[in-house]
Amino acid sequence: MSASKDTPSAPSKAPSGNPSGDPGSRDLGKALHGWRDRISPATVGLPAGGVRRAAGLRREELAQLAALSVDYITRLEQGRATSPSPQVLASLARALRLSEAERTYLYLLAGQPEPGPGHISDHIPPGLRRLLDQLNGAPLSVHDAAWNLVEWNPSWAALLGDPSALRGRERNMIWRHFTGLPGRVRQTPEQKADFEATMVGDLRAATARYPADQGLRSLIKDLRETSTAFAGLWDSGIVGIHRSGAKAIVHPEIGTLTLDCDVLVAAGSDLRVVAYTAAPGSDAAARLGLLAVIGTQAMT
């Protein structure tokens, strides 16, 4: 989510062929290759080091951004992979920064129905993406209506840990919390109770807005079976609201720092933008500045 002038425009000429044909067709591969070639590494916050035959993303970089294997990206582009799932297509559309029209075309080429209004979307509209790019100095993350991590910037990865290797439920904030997966945020008992009420309330509201989303239903079912704390809160009918507040984060290199945490809901998209900030001139601001220098690397 580094600085970008705008969402990349569509290729000047759409790939030829029958969009409703084989999902693993060359038309899909050509489109993916074309979209990959038009995005510079700097646009998506990646270093542009090394010798490049083209200005666009390498396959391994797209694989990293989309949380897919390089081999799978290669087979897709060569027309050897068939029937990419809606989840794979959503990841590719997000990583390639496709417009809504391009996203629709991607699903059409792959022979998959585009998610309807009853399903949670992780598509980041161009306007919101520009805003995120311009705010890249602060640690930012984007989550969908079920609190799956959709995107993050380098500052967020440096602060809270690089999530690139995480898959599936490991990228869901609510699943991580209620199943005890490790993290760097430390909460007081009051903060924990407030956080849990808010998250459970958010999921309850999401089920009303997205009644056909099977992934959401499955998440809630598994949480109820896995966590007695979640099951108790869910059955109680508790409702919570987002509040701005301070969060203590224990970083392995720069120690504990307390930051303001704000959750913003993007109008019209139902995406949650989580931002961590510090007061200018504060010790926490100085530590964030140091973090911007060391990134995700360990200090020696």
The pLDDT tens digits for 121-171 are 888 887 888 888 888 778 999 999 999 999 898 899 999 999 988 888 999
Contact present, 202 and 271 (Cβ < 8 Å)? no
Confidence of residue 87 (pLDDT cuts 50, 70, 90): confident
Is the model more confident about 241 or about 95? 95
Q: How high is the pLDDT of residue 201?
A: 92
Residue 187 has pLDDT above 90, yes or no: yes
Q: How high is the pLDDT of residue 298?
A: 55
Please report the domains of the chain, with CATH numbers, ordered by start residue: 26-109 (1.10.260.40), 126-294 (3.30.450.180)
Query: Side by side, which strands form the sheet with 149-152?
Result: 149-152, 140-143, 272-277, 255-265, 245-251, 185-186
Q: How high is the pLDDT of residue 2?
A: 40
Contact present, 125 and 269 (Cβ < 8 Å)? yes
Q: How high is the pLDDT of residue 241?
A: 73
In this prediction, residues 221-226 reach a mean pLDDT of: 97
Of 107, 248, 233, give the one whose Cα is nearest residue 187: 248
Range with top average pLDDT, 73-87, 145-159, 215-229: 215-229
Residue 21 has pLDDT above 50, yes or no: no
At residue 245, φ and ψ (nearest 5 deg) are -170, 175
Residue 15 has pLDDT above 70, yes or no: no
Q: How high is the pLDDT of residue 218?
A: 95
User: What's the chain's Rg over C-alpha atoms?
Assistant: 20
In this prediction, residues 280-299 reach a mean pLDDT of: 82
Residue 8 has pLDDT above 80, yes or no: no
Work out whether the CA dihedral 50, 51, 54, 59 comes out positive or negative. Answer: negative
Task: Please give the Cα distance from 159 to 261 (Å, whole number).
Answer: 13
Confidence of residue 47 (pLDDT cuts 50, 70, 90): confident
Confidence of residue 10 (pLDDT cuts 50, 70, 90): very low
